[in-house]
Chain A
Amino acid sequence: MSALSQLKSVLDGALRRNRMEGDMDAELRFHMAKYTEDLINSGSKREQAERQARIEFGHLEPLKEECREARGLRLWDETLQDLRYAGRMLRKSPGFAAVAVLTLALGIGANTSIFSVVNAWVLKPLPYANPDQLVAIYSADVKGRWLGNTSARDLDDWRKEKKDVFEDICGWLTSAYTLENGDESVAGARVNAEFFRMLGVIPQQGRGFLRQEEQPGAPQVAVLSHELWQNRFNGDPALVGKTILIDGVGVSIVGIMPEGFHLPLMGPVKLWRPLTLGDDRRTRLLPVVARMKPGVSLARATSYLKTVARRLAESYPATNSGRTVQLRTLREEIGQQGGSQEALIVFWLVGCVLLLACSNVANLAVGRAVGRQKEMAVRLAIGAGRGRLVRQLLTENVMLFLLAAALSVLFANWGVRWIAQAIPTEVRGYLPNSAVLRVDASTLLYTLGIALATGLLFGIAPAIQAGRIDVNHALKENTARLSAGGGSALFKKCLIVFETSLALVVLVAAGLLVKGLVRMHEKDVGFNPNGLVTARVELSEAHYTDPKRIEAFKKAVLEQVRMLPGIRAAAIGNFIPYGGNDGSTVYSIEGRPVPAPADRPFTLFDTVSPDYFKVMGIPLLRGRVFSEVDRADSLAVGIVNQALVRRQFQGQDPLGQRIRWSANLDHVVMIVGVVKDAAGQDDTDRAYPQIYFPNQQHAIQGMTFVLRTDSALQDTASSVRRAVRAVDSTQSVLRVETMLGLMAERRAPYIIVGQISSFFAALALFLAALGIYGIMTYSVAARKQEFGIRLALGAARRDLVSLVMRQGLKLTVIGLAIGLAAAFGVTYLMSSILYQVSPTDAATFALFSLVLLLVAGLACYVPARRASSIQPTRALRSE
């Protein structure tokens, strides 16, 4: 009520000022008239009465001013006045204004654009109902060495034991589907019936799945993404209820999800179908997400499900002994996989850049304030309050920052657009809120917030400084003598130290990231990625269960593909490097004691066609590669990589050794060859132990064709699709991509972060150099007379150069020391996004300390030279 009346009063005064003034005037005149009348009525003469009324009222103007103040208008008036004055001051020094606004706009714009990313990926809640109740559930070993997917039977048992802890528990299996229209297959997933309900997202049209649709033999149904509906079915408004052919089978569409709906853990899935849980407790393929009941904590849910897992381990020791579960909040899981780490680190780096920009502007402001001491002194002398002066200077500063904020929106827009286009489409499917990556209202609010906060923070020191001047002294002295005031000199020294340390942090962080990028480009990936095209095919589970059929399909397609013009060689792998999926298994060496289940080592594995190594360009180091001799009924063989040899066969001959593998170690292969390590099993490119099995001995429905070709990607893509169709018209190719394209996708986070941070590091270096140069130039100018005297007394010009240099470099070195300590802290946090570079890489730390020292030296040297070229006579005369 009271606040409202105050606001109304101020707004009235601000917006309807003329009317308010008129009202006030009329009211006072009415009072005077009435008083005069009363005086006349009590016997005074008119003239005399008017005179007395005027005397008793006193001067009207001070009274009115008091009234305005009473209405809360004075602050408003003065702020307006300050703003107008600030505008005039900035127009009077357009150079200062332009440099300051541009510097700040770059700093603020950088922050705004990175904030948009952080906002979308880290701050914004996941776009599901009550996202805090959602958790990812992993099967894990009791020793906590790994987390993984879950078997169908385990999931089924969990779902039966939801009790009052879980609302819903859902698993899924991603796969590719071939639709009746278009020859590119679509990434889809089979999900438990409650999947959409669990996330709390209601289909935009139609419905989600029903419980009975999970049952084997239930009618075939599917839910489409908004995107698929628009692109493949032209947004057909009557699509729901229609039947379409999926993998050659009629499936009725029961729902369409709203635009942008996706679960980042699932990837870019566009079609969902009900999941029928099979009878398998051995194969663990299902990722699982669950919703906890309201009020249930993560700890309680975890301990409850662990009890369930323990019970299962007792009941089914063959498959479940040594196994338990791990729960993580969905938010944490998506954050970890979805670039929030990267976004946060860049966010801190651009924060440093903004601080640098602010420091420079603060320095400029101090310089200007010193130049304006006379003006301030005069204003103090004629009665302005010191507080009033400080407020005036603050207003000027904040106005500068607000101008910069307005300009920064432009930069921020560019920045966000650049980041959005730099993220490969496939990668976007794994990012939360990826559809809303833009500068929105909350981002603008943030921009305004940081502009105001930094404007006040960095304006307060120069303003207070200016408010403290000694009027008498300032009015008497000439301007040149005023400059080197003690307080402002200390402030400037601190600025040099501060800027140097900030710049070093940014430089070292960016340096490590860039060093990683260089390593990445120089990295020998262990195969030849150039001219390699990959085509992923996942055979539909219903059509291909018989290993012979799978084998026949692979053979037939290979034959077709090899005949295509432009294809020089073709082979098949499954978990190819940079393909984004991998298979791993526990294993043991025949003839050695078998470790307990929880201690068995892991290895990656893949199943490949005989000439896979030749086509990929993976060199054979020992033994032989697979050939047609290795048939389903011949001796089971395997080829291992160097990493596995290093781990298991130091000083031994691996050839002829036997390896047991699979969950229960019930498969055996004999090692017939050793190949070079191939990178790309994960985005760190580190070499992991790996075993290859021949296709013929292990039929798997997933496969990736690798092709050596000189043709354009599009031509290859369409001819490969035709070849697959020719073999089986119900199957199609999921995705065709060059190996270089796949590599770029997996490495995208490193590349984007590296590019952004090297840009900002350059900016930081530039700002720091500018800042140091500015401060040193200023300090030299202020000490002109001192230098003149020194020269007159016989100092060599060389001495003056070294005097100034020593002063500047001493501060720089202090800054470097602080910066090094800070950088150690920052880079430690970065270790997870560094590509094969240690976060304490000594070379990088040393290099950038040196670079900064050199740049600072140069920034000091130029003013130092100027100091030494002073003409002593002129400098002394200018007193």
Chain B
Amino acid sequence: MGKQSDLLQGTLEMLILKSISLEPMHGYGILLRIQQLSQDRLQIQQGSLYPALYRLEYRGLIKAEWGESENNRKAKYYRLTAEGRRQLKLETENWNRLSAGVVGVLTAEPQKP
């Protein structure tokens, strides 16, 4: 039940932003979407999503509204704010740069002097 590591926390937030970038979703939906998109390679603990969601809301990156879920139950839906969309773009770019760099290092052939 401990906190995620820092890297993972940041990453989780990025994944949340990505998964609601198309349409507003409730917390459980976000969790399912991440699992589905990652083809179950990323496992997220059931509750751990919520502190991240609240943090994002606190930072003004997402906004929450109560709405009706598929079977007419009240659920809290999260959607991106303009600020959140900018942040997602920024983080995606950063992530791509970082991973490209890491891949570059790891796949480099040792060269003779």
Contacts and interface: CB of A to CB of B under 8 A. Distances in A.
Interface of A: 1-2, 4-6, 9, 23-24, 26-28, 30-35, 53, 56-60, 62-63, 66-67, 69-72
A28 B60 contact: no
A56 B45 contact: yes
Interface in B23-57: 26-28, 31, 45-47, 50-55, 57
B54 A5 contact: no
B47 A57 contact: yes
Nearest to B55: A70
B59 A6 contact: yes
Contacts of B50: 24, 27-28, 31, 63, 66-67
Given A30-B75, A31-B27, A70-B52, A63 B60 contact: no
**Contact-residue bracket for chain B:** 20 to 34
A63 B50 CA distance: 8
8 contacts: A26-B76, A27-B75, A28-B50, A31-B31, A32-B46, A70-B51, A70-B53, A72-B58
Which 7 A-B residue pairs are closest in the complex by CB-CB distance? Answer: A5-B60, A70-B54, A58-B1, A70-B55, A66-B51, A70-B51, A56-B46
A438 B51 CA distance: 51
A411 to B, nearest CB: 42
A71 B75 CA distance: 19
A71 B74 contact: no
Nearest to B52: A70
A5 B58 contact: yes
Contacts of A26: 74, 76
B47 A71 contact: no
B73 interface: yes
A33 B46 CA distance: 12
Nearest to A65: B51
Contacts, number: 82
Contacts of A4: 60
A1 B60 contact: yes
Given A30-B73, A30-B74, A31-B28, A58 B47 contact: yes
A489 to B, nearest CB: 43
B47 A28 contact: yes
A51 to B, nearest CB: 13
A71 B59 CA distance: 9
Given A63-B47, A63-B50, A69-B51, A27 B58 contact: no
A2 B27 contact: no
B3 interface: yes
B93 interface: no
B23 to A, nearest CB: 17
Contacts of B1: 58-59, 62-63
B58 A9 contact: yes
Given A67-B51, A71-B58, 15 more contacts: A1-B60, A1-B83, A6-B59, A24-B50, A27-B76, A30-B27, A30-B73, A31-B26, A33-B73, A34-B28, A34-B69, A56-B46, A63-B47, A66-B51, A70-B55
B96 to A, nearest CB: 24
B27 A27 contact: yes
Contacts of A71: 54-55, 57-58
A775 B54 CA distance: 50
B51 A5 contact: no
Contacts of B55: 70-71
Interface in B68-89: 69, 73-76, 83
A53 B46 contact: yes
A678 to B, nearest CB: 77
A24 B45 CA distance: 17
Interface string B4-27: 000000000000000000000011
A66 B73 contact: no
A1 B73 CA distance: 32
Nearest to B50: A67
Contacts of B27: 27, 30-31
A23 B54 CA distance: 12
Nearest to B76: A27
A422 B76 CA distance: 66
Contacts of A30: 26-28, 69, 73-76
Contact of B46 (A35, A59, A66): A35
Scoring B50, B57, B75 by chain A CB atoms within 10 A of each residue's CB, the highest score goes to: B50
A58 B73 CA distance: 24
Given A1-B83, A30-B28, A72-B58, A57 B52 contact: no
Contacts of A66: 3, 50-51
Nearest to B54: A70
Nearest to B26: A30
A24 B50 CA distance: 9
A60 B46 CA distance: 11
Contacts of A67: 50-51, 54
Contacts of A35: 28, 46
Contacts of B3: 66
A67 to B, nearest CB: 5
Nearest to A23: B76
A26 B73 CA distance: 11
B57 A5 contact: yes
A2 B59 contact: yes
B103 to A, nearest CB: 33
A836 B54 CA distance: 71
Nearest to B56: A70
B60 A6 contact: yes
A33 to B, nearest CB: 8
